[in-house]
């Protein structure tokens, strides 16, 4: 198991970014969350198979069809990760 926390900046709020992230994470069999932050970024925490976590981190650069991702910063995560479905 691997866990990562990513902060995604750009036009990522109000453009279905979190829902697209949730669907991609579920497709990859991951647990975690995608949450809007007050500064306009989205925080994504993902846990699961290391290759699938990496795949999600790479996918964050694509995001939803309407998003415009400017940066993705990911670090290892040792905190709690919700089990099962992604939440937002």
In a domain, 59, yes or no: yes
Residue 79's pLDDT is 73
Residue 78's pLDDT is 85
Q: How many domains does the chain have?
A: 1
18 is annotated as an active-site residue: yes
Choice among 4, 5, 18, 22 that is catalytic: 18
Is residue 30 within 8 Å of 80, Cβ to Cβ? no
In a domain, 85, yes or no: no
Please write the tens of the pLDDT for every residue from 41-55: 999 999 999 999 999
Q: Give me the CATH number covering residue 61.
A: 3.30.70.100
Cα(84)–Cα(88) distance, integer angstroms:
13
In a domain, 23, yes or no: yes
In a domain, 88, yes or no: no
Choice among 5, 9, 22, 36 that is catalytic: 36
Tell whether the torsion through CA atoms of 19, 40, 10 and 66 is positive or negative: positive
52 is annotated as an active-site residue: no
pLDDT of 63 > 80? The answer is yes
In a domain, 8, yes or no: yes
**Percentage of the residues of the chain whose pLDDT score is greater than 90:** 85
Q: Quote the domain boundaries for residue 41.
A: 2-76
């Amino acid at each position: 198991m691997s866990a990562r926390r990513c902060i995604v900046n750009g036009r990522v709020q109000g453009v279905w970014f979190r829902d697209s992230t949730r669907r991609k994470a579920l497709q990859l069999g991951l647990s975690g969350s995608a949450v809007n932050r007050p500064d306009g970024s989205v925080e994504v925490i993902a846990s699961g198979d290391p290759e699938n976590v990496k795949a999600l981190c790479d996918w964050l650069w694509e995001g939803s069809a309407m998003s415009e991702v400017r940066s993705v910063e990911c670090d290892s995560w040792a905190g709690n990760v919700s089990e099962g479905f992604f939440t937002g």
